[in-house]
Amino acid sequence: QVQLKESGPGLVQPSQTLSLTCTVSGFSLTSYNVHWVRQPPGKGLEWMGRMRYNGDTSYNSALKSRLSISRDTSKNQVFLKMNSLQTDDTGTYYCTRDESHWGQGVMVTVSS
């Protein structure tokens, strides 16, 4: 059974760095792509970036200067790091296996 679960801090201070982990099961990270998508409260979806099955990464150019996606295949984990957080980075962050399987999401609030 394919599962993805996001984890990380619920509260981050402005200008600090967000670190999230997506732990997957039921499939191999070397066979499927994993994406990060976020959603501000009450708003739509924004694609952030992708870890390809072969280890390549792609980023939304709007976030590229602040964003890094990496993985540890031995732990079945994909990581998101984003620096210089501001209040408009508040929202729910999802990891997905391509477009088909989504995690439950993790709510991140940027506030002092």
Partner 1 sequence: DVVMTQTPVSLSVSLGGQVSISCRSSQSLVHNNGNTYLSWYLQKPGQSPQLLIYKVSNRFSGISDRFSGSGSGTDFTLKISRVEPDDLGVYYCGQGTQYPYTFGAGTKLELK
Which residues bind to partner 1, rule: CB under 8 A?
A: 35, 44-47, 58-62, 94, 99-105
Nearer of residues 91 and 103 to partner 1, judged by Cβ: 103
CB of 89 to partner 1, least distance (A): 16
The two tokens of residue 94 are: 């999802």
| Strand 34-39 to 106-110 pairing | unpaired
CB of 81 to partner 1, least distance (A): 18
What does the radius of gyration of the chain's CA atoms come to, in whole angstroms?
13
Nearer of residues 85 and 106 to partner 1, judged by Cβ: 106
CB of 27 to partner 1, least distance (A): 14
Total H helices, total E strands in the chain: 0, 11
In terms of Cα–Cα distance, which of 85, 79, 81, 76 is closest to 31?
Answer: 76
SS3 94: strand
CB of 57 to partner 1, least distance (A): 11
Nearer of residues 65 and 112 to partner 1, judged by Cβ: 65
